[in-house]
Amino acid sequence: MPHHRLLVLQPLPGIGDMLWHLPHIRALARYAGGPVTLAAKPRSHADQIFAAEDTVQDVVWVDRNPKDAHGLHDGPRGLMRLVRTLRGHRFDAVVLLHHSVSLAFAAWAAGIPDRRGYGVGAQRWFLSGGPFLAKAAWRANRPMQRSTLFLQASNIPLDTGDYALPIAPGARAAVQRRLRAVPRPLAALGIGSSEPSRQWGAPRFAALAGALLDAGWPGLVLVGGSGEAPLYQDIAARLGDRAVQLIPALGWNLGETAALLAETSYYAGNDTGVMNMAAAVGTRAYALFGTTPPLHHSPLIVPVLSDWQGTIDGAARITLESVLAAIERDRGTLAPGSEWAVTRAR
C-alpha cells in the first residue's frame, strides 16, 4: 500500500458490525489514496448503509454461512466461486478485518499480491506480510477493537470516533414525503431484534409507548424489520384507540431508515443494528442492553441495564420504570418541547 484497487474484507454479518468498522474502512481508504471496494455478507446490507459513503466505491458479496440457509460461497465449490469473483476484480491488495483462514485462502488463490490480516493461527500462511496480532490480544478484545489494534500496528492513522454516517439526499427526500402528514416531533422505538434475548417484548413496548403518549408525544415511529409486523400489531392492539399515533417503519431500505432516525428526537429500544444507526446519524439512543455488556464506542448511546448480576439473559429483566428514568434523567423530562429545535440543529 498505498493502492488504488484495495479490497477491505469485513465478513461479520450484522448492521452494527458494519457501522462499528466504518472508521477503519475510512482510514484504509485514506491510506490507499482513494475509495475502496468492500467485501461483506448480504445480511449486513452494506450497499444500503453506505449508499452515500464516498470512501466505499463498490460492495462485493461474500455469501457464506447465511442464517438458516446455504450460501453461494459455502463449501469447497462455493469457495472457488468466491475466488473467481475476486480474481475478476484484479485487486492490488486486500485487508482482512477478520481472522478467517478460508477467506485469506480465497484472497491468495485469487492472486491478490498484497494480502494483510490479523495473522491468527493458520491465516498467516496465506498472507503476504505483517504485522500480525498476538493471539492473546485477539482473544481479549471485541471485533472492532481487534481492527483498531491491527490498524495501529500497521501505522495507519485512525480516528476511532469517526462514526458519523452520511445520508443520501434521495433517502431524505423519500422520508420527508412519507412523513408529510405526520405531526412532529417524533420519537423512535426500536422493536426489531436479531436474537430473542435482545427482544424487550410487546407488553413492555406497549407500556413505554403509552407512557410517552401520555407525556405529550404526538407520534411514535416503530422501527424494525419486516418480520416484526406481528410484534407491531400486538403493540398496536394493546394501545387500542391510541394506536393511530404509531407510525410503522418496518422493512424499510436502510438508507431511508437512517434518514428517518435523523428526523427523530431520540431512539429507545432493543440493542440492534438500527440502534447503532441512530447514534451514527446523530440521534440519542437509549439502548436496552439488560444484562448484556453495553457498547461504549459512541457517546450518543445511553445504556439501559438491569441490576441482575447472574446469567446474561438479555433485555427481559429491564423494567419500564428504568427506561423512563433513563430518558428523564438524561433529558430532564419525558415530554417533547424546546429540545426538538436543539436536536435538529446538531
Cα atoms found within 13 Å of the Cα of residue 278, Cβ hemisphere only:
32
What band does 61 get if pLDDT is binned at 50, 70 and 90? very high
> With left for phi above 0 and alpha for psi between -120 and 50, is residue 251 left, alpha or beta?
left
| Alpha-carbon distance values, 35 to 56, 190, 208, 212 (Å) | 5, 32, 43, 43
39 neighbors 60 (Cβ within 8 angstroms):
yes
What band does 341 get if pLDDT is binned at 50, 70 and 90? very low
Residue range 231-257: average pLDDT?
97
198: amino acid identity, one letter: R
DSSP 8-state secondary structure symbol assigned to residue 293: P
**pLDDT tens-digit map of 182-205:** 999 999 999 998 888 889 999 999
Q: Give the pLDDT confidence score for residue 322 in this predicted structure.
A: 93
- Distance separating the N- and C-terminal Cα atoms of the chain: 37
Three cell numbers at 194?
Answer: 436479531
32 neighbors 6 (Cβ within 8 angstroms):
yes
| Alpha-carbon distance values, 315 to 42, 48, 266 (Å) | 27, 28, 19
> Using N-to-C axis directions, what is the helix angle for 143-153 and 22-32, rounded to 10°?
20
DSSP per-residue string spanning 50-101: TTT-TTEEEEEE---S-TTS--TT-HHHHHHHHHHHHHHHT-SEEEESS--H
CATH of 170-345, one of 3.40.50.2000, 1.10.357.10, 3.40.50.720, 3.10.450.50: 3.40.50.2000
Instruction: Classify the C-alpha dihedral 304-305-306-312 as positive or negative.
Output: positive
Q: Give the pLDDT confidence score for residue 198 in this predicted structure.
A: 86
4 vs 98, which has greater pLDDT? 98
How far apart (Å, rounded) are the C-alpha atoms in residues 168 and 52? 5
Three cell numbers at 138?
Answer: 485477539
Residue range 142-148: average pLDDT?
91
What percent of the chain has a predicted confidence (pLDDT) above 90? 81
Three cell numbers at 253?
Answer: 431500505
**pLDDT tens-digit map of 248-271:** 999 999 999 999 999 999 999 999
Query: Which residue spans of the chain are classified as CATH 3.40.50.2000?
Result: 6-153, 170-345
Distinct helix (H) and strand (E) counts, the chain = 14, 11
Residue 115 has pLDDT above 80, yes or no: yes
Of 59-68, 101-110, 329-338, which has the strongest mean pLDDT? 101-110
**pLDDT tens-digit map of 70-80:** 889 999 999 99
| Alpha-carbon distance values, 328 to 7, 44, 283, 321 (Å) | 45, 33, 16, 10
Q: Give the pLDDT confidence score for residue 294 in this predicted structure.
A: 81
* Average confidence score pLDDT of the chain: 92
Backbone angles phi, psi at 267, to 5 degrees: -115, 135
Q: Which CATH superfamily is 6-153 part of?
A: Glycogen Phosphorylase B; (3.40.50.2000)
Residue range 157-180: average pLDDT?
94
